[in-house]
Amino acid sequence: MFIGFKKKIIQFLLLLVIVSLVSGCGYRPSSYFAKKVLGDRIYTKVDVSFATPENSVLTKDALNKALRTRLKTIVTRKEDADSMLKVVYESTTFIPLQYNKNGYATEYQVNLKLKFTFEKDGKVETKRTIGRYEFPIFPTAIIAYDVKLKAIEQSSVKALDQFFAYLAAKGYFVDKQK
């Protein structure tokens, strides 16, 4: 009985030490710094690709969802926004990575190139990112349409993650200069 009580005290003290280290060191999540750069209210615009408009729609949905869930910002009208984020869908390429013994591709990688243009307080900045996502397919000669759309959506999220990491690093250095 005494051993169980002693174990609980040690666990409590360990938890207390971890909480005090994390809160005492000034830790802030990267979303804090990215939000400092973007502001609370953001207007988003995604240029639609005429060749593949469904890919642009997937990118727009992924962007708005990421801004709401990861950065806790408000996507708003242009007139009410602190900043504007424009995304241009540049290209998508599917690269076969692995083949089976019959010569059919069984795994692909999608590379999605996005160009971000960020505008705030009259300053304009452009950043290009590439989202990569690997996915398996059934060994046939074509990629199923729903698998292709899911891969494009996931690569959009990865490209957005790169852009948010860039903003977080930028916000960190801005915060350090103050």
Query: pLDDT tens digits for 93-142?
Result: 999 999 989 888 889 999 999 999 999 988 999 999 999 999 988 766 56
Q: Is residue 24 part of a domain?
A: no
CATH of the domain at 111: 3.30.160.150
Domain annotation covers residue 3: no
Taking the C-alpha atoms of residue 92 and residue 161, their distance in angstroms, rounded to an integer, is 17
Residue in the structure block whose two tokens are 């074509």: 142
Mapping DSSP to helix (H, G, I), strand (E, B) and coil, where does residue 77 land? Answer: coil
In a domain, residue 75? The reply is: yes
Give a yes or no: residue 9 inside a domain. no
Residue 144 has φ and ψ, to the nearest 5°, of -60, 140
Structure tokens at 7: 């174990």
Q: Is the pTM of this model over 0.85?
A: no
Range of the domain at 133: 31-177
The number of domains in the chain is 1
